[in-house]
Amino acid sequence: MKSITVPATLEQLPHVQAFIEGELEANDCPMKAIMQISIAAEEIFVNIAHYAYHPDIGDATIRCQVGGDPLQVIIQFLDHGRPFNPLEREGPDTSLSAEDRDIGGLGILMEKKSMDQVEYAYEDGRWGDLLTSVDGIDLEYDGSGNPTFYANGTELLWNMEWQNGRQLSRATTERDSTTEDVLDFAYDANGIRTRKTVTRNTYRPVQTYKVTFVADGKTVKTMNVTEGYTLKDSDYPAVSEKAGYTGAWQRYTSPVKSNVTVSATYTKITTYYTVTFVADGFTVKTMQVYSGYKLKDSDYPSVPEKLGYDGHGHKWRVFPDNRIDFVK
């Protein structure tokens, strides 16, 4: 009995039909029988392609035997997809109009009428000897029964990707933390492997760098970042105050690729004001301050003595014209 194995996809239908029709023609099968068998085979294969592995793709094997006197044709379709016996489904009521009939069932009805015998069998023995572990490493399989990785002893672990059923499309393994081997495979329309490409990718370990914020010669903050990190506004600490100056951080906008020091720049304040302390109509003290200066307790002079007053309840007050006066 001759056979072919193809991915169970609609694109493979012409190959399946060509295989079956070729076997029939080689044995001088009548054209009418060839057409009937080809239509029935199409119905069966299309059902496998649509439902056996969905949404994955698996394999289908078609076996064909032609011979004997009188001439006899035996065709088998084998897949490893979900079990479904179409023969158990109740046929459509052909007495009803197409609009009133339930959808489906006509295909298997045609097969029964055109073929002498149609049989279905489900055998779950495929998984009886399934390899589940190698050297303590558990093995996993996809929906088509393909292993998703291969353990080469305990040295290399190959991760495998499959396509169209049992076509190995890619295998990858990490030789160490910096090296990965990749095998890519290509196939022709008949599922024959035509190319194998080997690629070795080398990676540099991710580096960690230190970012140091320095203001007026003193470290304000340090932080560790990974290579390529870009500083955010929230990463910048408050700038240390410096008397007579305004301060701001230099902005580091490039991705970090080495240890970085971010410095604060200070700009001398050139605008000054005079603060005058007046008590009982007399100037007690004057001082020059820069724009933005905040008076400290130590800036305030002692309250002058005044005859008949003990000084309790007296305080300095800032007037709208910025004059500071002593009031009760």
Tell me the pLDDT tens digit for each residue of 163-181: 876 788 898 988 887 888 9
- 111 and 166 in a single domain? The answer is no
Q: Which domain holds residue 231?
A: 208-268
* Cα gap 264→251, rounded to integer Å: 9
- 194 and 248 in a single domain? The answer is no
70: three-class secondary structure by DSSP: coil
Question: In a structure prediction context, what are the per-residue pLDDT tens digits for the chain, which is 328 residues long?
Answer: 789 999 999 999 999 999 999 999 999 999 989 998 988 898 889 888 888 887 788 889 999 999 888 888 999 999 888 777 776 666 545 554 545 444 444 556 666 677 788 888 776 544 445 667 766 677 777 766 778 877 665 566 788 888 876 788 898 988 887 888 999 999 887 678 889 999 998 887 888 999 999 999 999 999 999 999 999 999 999 999 888 888 999 999 999 999 999 999 998 888 888 888 888 888 889 988 877 778 888 888 888 887 777 655 456 666 555 555 544 4
Provide the CATH number for the domain around residue 169. Answer: 3.10.450
Provide the CATH number for the domain around residue 262. Answer: 2.60.40.4270
Give backbone dihedrals phi and psi of 39, rounded to 5 degrees, phi first: -65, -45
- 29 and 101 in a single domain? The answer is yes
pTM: 0.38
- 49 and 99 in a single domain? The answer is yes
Provide the CATH number for the domain around residue 77. Answer: 3.30.565.10
Helix axes 31-47, 13-26, angle to 10 degrees: 150
Which residue, 172, 202, 232, sits at the end of a domain?
A: 202
- 169 and 218 in a single domain? The answer is no
- 83 and 111 in a single domain? The answer is yes
Which residue, 222, 240, 268, sits at the end of a domain?
A: 268
Which residue, 77, 92, 122, sits at the end of a domain?
A: 122
- 277 and 257 in a single domain? The answer is no
- 45 and 104 in a single domain? The answer is yes
Burial environment of residue 114 by CB neighbours within 10 A (0 to 12, 13 to 18, 19 or more) = middle
- 224 and 315 in a single domain? The answer is no
Total domains present in the chain: 4
- 287 and 253 in a single domain? The answer is no
- 149 and 107 in a single domain? The answer is no
In this structure, is the dihedral angle defined by the CA atoms of residues 120, 6, 63 and 130, taken in order, positive or negative?
Answer: negative
Tell me the pLDDT tens digit for each residue of 114-149: 778 888 877 654 444 566 776 667 777 776 677 887
- 315 and 301 in a single domain? The answer is yes
